Each structure stands twice: as structure tokens, then as C-alpha cells.
Structure 1
Amino acid sequence: MAEGDRIPLDAQSVDAPLSRFAVFLVVTVDASDSALEQVRDVVTEIDDLIKTVGFRDLAAHLSCVVGIGSTLWDRLSPRARPSELHPFPVIAGARHTAPSTPGDLLFHIRADRADLVFEFERLLLDSLRGAVTVASETQGFRYFDARDVLGFVDGTANPVGAELAGAVLIGDEDPDFAGGSYVVVQKYLHDLDTWAKLSTEEQEAVIGRTKLDNVELDDAPGPQFAHKTLSTIDDGHGGELDILRDNMPFGRPGHGEFGTYFIGYSRALWVIERMLERMFIGEPAGFHDRILDVSTALTGTTFFVPSRPVLVGLADGDDGGDDEADAGEPAAPPASAALDAADESLGIGSLRRSASERTTS
């Protein structure tokens, strides 16, 4: 896949349009061989279930992306693995921590009708009954003009159009898994009472954009605290390394629960990890993202999203890798080591996407 290509048809629907409703379902798989084979059957036939439910209203754009965690990948496909796939690392700053939580499978279910999302999830869990345990289930919704519950537009800095594939899909750097993607999910709860005590100007300084019209603010002198700045990764050539975010608000006012579900897709896992290091640890260390003073991360899990041929190939244990691949091949280096080599490997430039098309952290 050459940089700049559009999302190919054999990739999973990571580029599905911003939906009105979503469910982020994370499950763990039981240790038995029978559970593994049951899961194998379900995930390799996921497109059939999408058709079964989605035919009721094709204009509602039902989709489901399947992500596979590091431990489960080794069970499903022990002879070859994506080069960067590893469990989500705990990221501990001086004041805030991004936890690492269990998850073998992610189902990112989206549609413009809540009933289709509900029906798909119901049938999916029926087919997995006895083989999995639900670790996390979050129902998201579009909030006004693509805003989060903090009141700011959420989705400004995503790649768009022909630039999307180069930022999101693995290419020649890992040819056995080209067309796949890495995805990280985190569930954040917001302290809206504390947030409401800040003036609009103070809130804008935290986010790095104006609240009403979403205009990007210039960086203040000295160490940076703004979310906009700390979540931006420089490619070393004056551009940015982008990820694709499809965040959604969630909440239960009767329980005082308000939050944002972060979901980020990337061609290179280290890019998301570096972004989170900057947010939680700061750069320099100690200057953390001030949004974390009102937003607490409850979960953190990493998955690999295989292309459709690789996903279907798991039915026969065919992961698309080299038959002579070493099952004991060591995992990819940590984010900090990969960062040093970034300028020579990816070359992804600064990409942008409108807030009306996609959401961002």
C-alpha cells in the first residue's frame, strides 16, 4: 500500500462515517480450546452478521470493526504476529495514571440507528455465550455538532480522504499484515462540576481551542499544558503523525456519570503511546495535560485490527504470515525506542479532517 492510497476494500471499516450511535464492547476469552474455537468461528464470519442485521436499513450504515488483543492473537495465530502488537502499558505520571486493563477482543459497533446497534450486539453476544466474559461495554452517542460533554468540538485533527490510509493502515513496513491497523481504547470519566467552575477562557486554555467556533489557539510560552498541543506528535520534518479518532460521549445523568470513550486507530502503535506519554507524563516530565485534572482514565487496552482476508484466514489458522515465521519472535521495541527510528520509517505528514466527519480526543 503506497502512502496516500485510499482505504482498500479488503480493510475493515475503520473509516466508517461518524455515526449517531456506537457500542464499544471489550471481552475476554475463556482459556478452554472449545471457547477459542467458538470465538474463531464468530470473528471470522462477522461480515455475515453485519449483513443479517444491517439489511433492515442499509442507509443506517451498520458496521463492526474487530480488534484482537496480544494474548488472544498468539492463541489464534501462534506462528506470526504483527510487529508492534503488545499489551497496553501502564503510563504513570506524577499526578495521573493511564491504567492497563484486560481485553482479548474489541467490537467497535456503529450505526445511525440505536436499534441496529442493539440488535447486532445482542446476536453477537448470543453467538459468543459461554466462551467470553464482558470486560467493558460502553454505549456512545453523537452530541450536538460533534461535541464532547465538556462542550468542545471533538474531531478536528483527523486525517481525511486520500491521506487517511497512510495514517491508519499498515504498509510495506510489515507486509504480512498490510491493510491492518492498531487501535487503543480508553474510557474517561469527567468531573463536570469541577469543569463548570472554570471560566470559558480557562477551559479554552486547557483544550487549546475556542469553545464556540473551535479555532485553534497559539501555544503559550514555555512548557505546554494544552490538550491540543500535547496530543500532537511531530514527525521530525515540520509535520504531524496523525491517528484516526472516533471518540464518542457517553453518560448516565441519574448516576452522575459523564465521559468520553477514546478510540484511536493508527498505522504505528507507538504514535498513540507517545501521545499518551506526553499527556500523562508531560514534556518535559511534570507538565501533564490539564484535561486530566477533570478527566480520569478508567481503562486502557490495545488491539490489532487485521484486514478482512487475514481475519477470515484465522478460520483455518491462516494468518497471512510467512510459513517459516518464528513463533517465538520477540515483540516490537517499546514506544520510546520506536520513536527514535520514526523519521526513517513512516514519513507520514500533517493531515487534517473536519469535526463533522470524525471525532478526536
Structure 2
Amino acid sequence: MTQPQKGICAESNLHAQYLLLNVIDDDSQAVRAKLARVLDIFDWYENEHYEAMVTGVIAVGAGYWSELYEGLIPTELTAFPRMQCEDRSAPDTGTDLFIQIRADRLDICHAIGSEVMELLHLHVELVEQIKAFRYLDGRDLNGFIYAQDNPRGMKRRQVAIIDARQDADFAGGSYIHVQRFRHDLRRWKSLSERQQEQVMGVTREYNQPSPEQSDSSHSVRACAPGSDDGHHDLLKQGMPYGDLLIQGLFFISCAASAQPFKAMLHSQIVGNAEGDYDRWLDFTSAETGGAYFAPALTFIRQQAAS
């Protein structure tokens, strides 16, 4: 049976480290073999420090997939859908590899990241590293609950993981989209609580739909509606990051199809025919963006030997 990577559907952790890498080595076989060994690092720390709830994800960039894995390509793997409308934009800054490390201990995230870079350093250059954290009871730094529409329980796997009926060659895989947002919290905090709730479309304290929710509210525009049962076909795994100078959100979505993310992005940036876009984008902006595919564990290990 095809086994997905554990980090795709895992519940949230306290800490995360995100590594965005470009490959500088033409020896694809060596890179494939090293990626399988990254999985071994994840497994070792998961077993040795079980209390830290370690999970990891290895994802390959849309532009690098064909160089790394010759032959078949995931059906919907395409470049990040860059968009621009007025002063709202979603740039494509995708890298060759994206590695997510999550745990309930910051030191374990650091230790895993260090071992991963020691293993890969001859083959890659580190473009960006982001250390993220759980904020309060799962909130973004704007004070509101993050990803309140996430699927729960077994629905997470149904939403995030490709099954054999969708794409038999890549069953167990997941389409990954990432964006690093930078918030203007000083401007955001100049709003009253009522004004903030109008922007977000939910109440800050209890995360209930706001009486003044509108078609331009974040909770409306940042949802990708499901095709049948009204649920949402994205699993959002992002976390806040930052220090006292720069704050934001590292957004990650996992899905069995690349289409829901594209639909959500269009809903946020371009909006509907009446011009309703996501008003939260007046207070945050995407500085990076990338499209990736996280193949099943079985695929990574088999390709390492080919």
C-alpha cells in the first residue's frame, strides 16, 4: 500500500522549520538517494524523541520535478499560479525543493534541520529558512484563529492525499503550495476590534461568523469550496513566524488536486464580479510563492534505488 508522508495530514505542532532549497548538482541520482536518507533522519528523531511528535515533508518544485524524476509527472503539477490585481499580488519565487520540519520542541526542529543541511550541503544552496511557531491557541499574529475551515479527522486524508482513482502513478502524494506573507500589524492594530472582525468575517474571541460578515471578508474569500458536500478541499498547514521587527504567516496548503488552491487565490486577489476581494490583503502581502509535489514515501524510496 502506498504510504503518504506523515507530515501532510499531521495535526499542528508547537514549532516548525521550513527549508527552501535550490539544487546545484547535476547528479540527480545522488539527490534522489539523499532525499530518501532525509526520510531516515525524520524517522530516527521521531523514534528517539517520540514526545516531540516529529513529522516532516519533502516536496519537489514544479520546475525541478522532471530533472529529478524522469518519466511520469503528477497530472496537475504546474508552476505557481502567479496573480496580480491592483496592489494585490501573488509572486512565483518557487525553489527546487521544499522541506518542512515540525515538532513540539524547538531544539529538535533545529537538530533535524542541521542534519538535513549537513546531508544535502554538497548538492543544494539554502535560499531561505523560516522558523515558525504556534501562537496562543492556534491563531495568526493578527489575533484570529488560523485555518478555521480545515477538514478534521479522516477528512484530512481525503482532502490532502491523492488516491489511486485520481492518479494511480502518484497515489499517496499531495500538491503543496507555499507563500510567505508579511503582515503590517501596526496598521492592523490601528483598527477597532469591530473593524477587524468585519475584515476577517468572524469574531476574534470565539471564531464565530461575524454579524457583519460580507463577500469581502477573509473567511469568505479565502475558502476553496468543495465540489460536492460544501466542505473545503484544502488542508492548511501554515504557521506564524517572526520577531519584534518582522511578523507574518508562512502559508502551506496540501491537497489532492492543484485546483482548489488556484481557485482560492483567485477569490482572494481578483475577487468576484462585484469587485469583492479579500480585505485582509490590505494588511498583509505575499512576498514569496511556490508550487511543489510531495510524493509518497514509497515513491521516494523506490526512486532512490533507480
* TM-score of the pair, normalised by structure 2: 0.94
Partner of 1:79: 71
**Equivalent residue in structure 2 for 1:61, among 34, 53, 57:** 53
Q: Please give the residue correspondences for 1:338-353 in structure 2 after superposition, counting only pairs within 5 Å.
A: none
Partner of 1:150: 142
Cα distance 1:249–1:269, how it changes in 2: closer, same or farther (>3 A)?
Answer: same
Cα distance 1:114–1:98, how it changes in 2: closer, same or farther (>3 A)?
Answer: same
Tell me the amino acid that sits aligned with residue 292 of structure 2: F
Q: Counterparts of 1:67 and 1:249 in 2: how far apart (Å)?
A: 20
Q: Counterparts of 2:194 and 2:23 in 1: how far apart (Å)?
A: 47
Q: Report how far residue 286 of structure 1 moved.
A: 3.6
Answer whether contact 1:94 1:286 (CA < 8 A) is retained.
no
Tell me the amino acid that sits aligned with residue 29 of structure 1: V
Partner of 1:289: 278
**Equivalent residue in structure 1 for 2:242, among 223, 230, 251:** 251
Is 1:103 aligned to residue 95 of structure 2?
A: yes
Tell me the amino acid that sits aligned with residue 226 of structure 1: S
Task: Please give the per-residue CA displacement for 1:188-239, whole angstroms capped at 9, x wherever unaligned.
Answer: 0000111011111110111111001111235756xx2111101222345561
Is 1:176 aligned to residue 181 of structure 2?
A: no
Tell me the amino acid that sits aligned with residue 25 of structure 1: L
Is 1:16 aligned to residue 7 of structure 2?
A: no
Q: Report how far residue 119 of structure 1 moved.
A: 0.5
Q: Counterparts of 2:94 and 2:167 in 1: how far apart (Å)?
A: 26
Aligned partner of residue 278 in structure 1, secondary structure = helix
Is 1:124 aligned to residue 113 of structure 2?
A: no
Q: Counterparts of 1:47 and 1:285 in 2: how far apart (Å)?
A: 48
Aligned partner of residue 44 in structure 1, secondary structure = helix
Q: Report how far residue 27 of structure 1 moved.
A: 0.5
Answer whether contact 2:81 2:92 (CA < 8 A) is retained.
yes
Cα distance 1:159–1:235, how it changes in 2: closer, same or farther (>3 A)?
Answer: closer
Q: Report how far residue 9 of structure 1 moved.
A: 7.4
Task: Please give the per-residue CA displacement for 1:28-60, whole angstroms capped at 9, x wherever unaligned.
Answer: 111x423x3332121122221123333442111
Number of residue pairs the alignment of both structures matches? 304
Is 1:300 aligned to residue 285 of structure 2?
A: no
Answer whether contact 2:4 2:295 (CA < 8 A) is retained.
yes
Q: Please give the residue correspondences for 1:228-267 in structure 2 after superposition, counting only pairs within 5 Å.
A: 228-235=219-226, 237=228, 239-253=230-244, 256-267=245-256
Q: Counterparts of 1:67 and 1:238 in 2: how far apart (Å)?
A: 29
Partner of 2:202: 209
Task: Please give the per-residue CA displacement for 1:297-340, whole angstroms capped at 9, x wherever unaligned.
Answer: 010001101111111122134xxxxxxxxxxxxxxxxxxxxxxx
Tell me the amino acid that sits aligned with residue 22 of structure 1: A
Tell me the amino acid that sits aligned with residue 184 of structure 1: H
Tell me the amino acid that sits aligned with residue 311 of structure 1: I
Partner of 2:216: 225
Structure 1: give runs of 5+ residues left out of the alignment.
1-7, 318-361
Q: Report how far residue 285 of structure 1 moved.
A: 6.6
Is 1:269 aligned to residue 261 of structure 2?
A: no
Tell me the amino acid that sits aligned with residue 236 of structure 2: R
Two-structure CA RMSD over aligned residues (Å): 1.7
Answer whether contact 1:246 1:262 (CA < 8 A) is retained.
yes
Aligned partner of residue 77 in structure 2, secondary structure = coil
Structure 2: give runs of 5+ residues left out of the alignment.
none
**Equivalent residue in structure 1 for 2:19, among 16, 25, 40:** 25
* TM-score of the pair, normalised by structure 1: 0.80
Q: Report how far residue 76 of structure 1 moved.
A: 1.8
Cα distance 1:176–1:123, how it changes in 2: closer, same or farther (>3 A)?
Answer: same
Aligned partner of residue 106 in structure 1, secondary structure = strand
Tell me the amino acid that sits aligned with residue 171 of structure 2: A
Cα distance 1:9–1:20, how it changes in 2: closer, same or farther (>3 A)?
Answer: farther
Answer whether contact 2:23 2:124 (CA < 8 A) is retained.
yes
Q: Counterparts of 1:235 and 1:27 in 2: how far apart (Å)?
A: 32
Tell me the amino acid that sits aligned with residue 115 of structure 2: L
Give the fraction of aligned pairs with identical amino acids, expressed as a percent.
30
